[in-house]
Amino acid sequence: MMNGQMGPRHGQGKHSAGRRNSEVVRLGDLKPGTTGTIQRLSCNRRLRRRLMNMGVVAGTPFEIERVAPLGDPVELKLKDFHLTLRNEEAGDIWVEVDDE
């Protein structure tokens, strides 16, 4: 532990690393209109490389645009483009959600 301050691991709990009342959760659990920032990827090397090549990297802001009626796939706005991911892929992306 550094100076007794550690953020939550794997989406458990809330923290405020430079933001007011934000929470770390899986991207696949979010609803349309939710905004936040990519925190980390917890997937296999091949999928991680593919996602990173598409701009899904830590620190990137995003907004959930649409979720299919059965929850799969999910479309998000990332930088200046829209990206559609299967729920399985979205579940491997941990994000910090902006509280509004």
- Count of domains forming the chain: 1
Residue 42 domain-assigned (yes or no): yes
Residue 45 belongs to some domain of the structure: yes
Tell whether 70 is covered by a domain.
yes
80 assigned to some structural domain: yes
Structural domain boundaries enclosing 33:
19-97
pLDDT surpassing 80 at residue 20: no
Do the domain assignments include residue 90? yes
Asked if residue 34 is part of any domain, the answer here is: yes
* In the chain, % of residues over pLDDT 90: 27
Q: Are 7 and 24 in contact (CB under 8 A)?
A: yes
Supply φ then ψ for residue 78, to 5 degrees. Answer: -130, 120
The model's pLDDT over 36-70, given as tens digits with 9 standing for 90+, comes to: 999 998 888 898 898 888 888 889 999 999 998 88
In sequence order, what are the residues at sequence separation of 6 or more whose Cβ sits closer than 8 angstroms to the Cβ of residue 2? none
Taking only the tens place, the pLDDT of each residue in 71-97 is: 789 999 988 899 999 888 888 889 999
Cα 77 from chain centre: 12
> How confident is the model at residue 87, as a pLDDT?
87
Q: pTM of this prediction?
A: 0.70
What CATH code is carried by the domain that includes residue 40? 2.30.30.90
**Mean pLDDT, rounded, of the chain:** 79
- pLDDT at position 3 over 80: no
Question: Is residue 4 scored above 70 in pLDDT?
Answer: no
